Structure 1
Amino acid sequence: VWSAVGAGAVFIMKQFFESIPREIEEAALIDGASPITTFFRIILPMATPALGALTILTFQGMWNEFFKAAVVLSGQQGNYTLPLGLSFFRSAYGVAGDWGLMLASAFLSMIPIIILFVVFQRYFVEGVSTSALKG
């Protein structure tokens, strides 16, 4: 995974963690929790909306990656990703290709993204809306 962490992912998580009140960490410290326990038992479960949104965005970005896959997989048609395969499929039929078949294959390549979004849409909407809030 060559670009699983990007500037957008760092920004979303930074904004989300800044929106968590400092008093929650202080209360855990007073209750005797170590910083590691505070992070894994209190802060990380609170971050599930942001992590869900980040999961969807990262998966979608990796799924639709074209340029890096074209550079790495040049000449290895058996290992093409779906965007590369669709491009090869289009060039195999030329300009006057079977557009119905090409659009059907493009729709089939969208199905995993749609399923992922439907499953995680609650986290996506909640995570995107809360990641931009400040304090």
Structure 2
Amino acid sequence: MSKQADPMAILRRAGFYIVLAAVVIYLVFPFYWAINSSLKTEPQLQMTPATYIPRAVEDQSISFHFGNYAAVFQNEVFTRGLLNSAIVAGTTTVLALMIGAFAAFALGKLRFRGRTPSLYIILAMTMFPAVSVLTGLFGVIRAFNIPAIGSMILTYLLFSLPFTAWVLTSFFEGLPRELLQSAQVDGATPFQTFYMILLPLTAPALVTTGLLAFIGAFNEYLFALTFTTVEPNARTVPVAIAQFTGLVARQEPFGEIMAAAVVVSIPLLILVLIFQRKIVEGLTAGAVKG
């Protein structure tokens, strides 16, 4: 005889899929609406009620408009901001991983006086709100006359480096201590052990923390807006998008803003798709011991 399906199991499964669908819609819908809005003209954006697919104003036929994307790439402020963001975020990520990996190796594998207080100090540095140090940092940067690009890199390091060092420390601690001892027996120096043996094993953690640091620096707005007030050519892409102006006075170029947001999101999405396996490994490493 075939077993009858448990009604409670069916209800639980149905409830799970309903919640899952609601979460997916909640997360995906803003990005879909940005794409939908970026493919509309100004008259289409002003249609009431709003359409979920771009439609012509005259006959309600489906009509896609790619002029917003052309205008975005013809905007020198946006393209320069995109380049500035790539330079700032890329440099910040590389420096954070290099310095953070050295610090994590020392904190995770070496034993020295003050190790535990150092870990707590690093953890405490991640708790400061950004706005609380904005005025002081701006004063220091103005006093030393640091260029805007360099000031943003140094500032983003203040927030990404403690996070990177803290996360990587847990990965280095999880590596077998026998690896370090075997390398010492074979005559390897501590740097050779770190660079040739331990560092490759932490690749998932490096990818995960590096991607998070890159996204954080790429999307940061508050410090970028403040530090580039006296150097407009150094504006990053979030500041450039926020300061878009229309061709007509008092016009809000909503379609171009949405197109720029989609263009900026695509590289980050590609990076996540390329490194998704490493990201999953990095997030789940150490979750199960045995």
TM-score, normalized by the shorter chain, greater than 0.5: yes
Amino acid at match of 1:73: T
Which residue of the other structure, out of 108, 113, 116, is the alignment partner of 2:268?
Answer: 113
Distance 1:47 1:77, change over 3 A: same
Match runs of 1:21-60 below 5 Å = 21-60=176-215
Q: Distance in 1 between matches of 2:250 and 2:173?
A: 51
Q: Distance in 1 between matches of 2:185 and 2:199?
A: 19
Which of 119-128 and 75-84 deviates more?
Answer: 75-84
Aligned length: 133
TM-score (normalised: structure 1): 0.83
Partner of 1:78: 233
Amino acid at match of 1:110: S
User: Could you list the per-position Cα deviations for residues 96-132 of structure 1 after superposition, in whole angstroms to 9, with x for gaps in the alignment?
Assistant: 6343332111111112211222222222221122266
Amino acid at match of 1:61: G
Matched, 1:15 2:131: no
Amino acid at match of 2:272: F
Gaps of 5+ in 1: none
Q: Point out which structure has higher relative CO (alpha carbons under 8 A, 6+ apart).
A: 1
Which residue of the other structure, out of 253, 273, 281, is the alignment partner of 1:126?
Answer: 281
User: Could you list the per-position Cα deviations for residues 78-105 of structure 1 after superposition, in whole angstroms to 9, with x for gaps in the alignment?
Assistant: 332111011111xx35986343332111
Matched, 1:102 2:267: no
Q: Helix, strand or coil: the match of 1:8?
A: helix
Distance 1:42 1:85, change over 3 A: same
Q: Distance in 1 between matches of 2:231 and 2:194?
A: 44
The percent of aligned pairs where both chains have the same amino acid is: 33
Q: Distance in 1 between matches of 2:233 and 2:186?
A: 57
Q: How far did residue 72 of structure 1 move?
A: 0.8
Max radius of gyration: which structure? 2
Structure 1 runs of 4+ with >6 Å offset: 131-135
TM-score (normalised: structure 2): 0.42
Which of 104-113 and 31-40 deviates more?
Answer: 31-40
Q: CA RMSD in A?
A: 2.4
User: Could you list the per-position Cα deviations for residues 19-73 of structure 1 after superposition, in whole angstroms to 9, with x for gaps in the alignment?
Assistant: 1111111122223322222111100111111111121111101100111111110
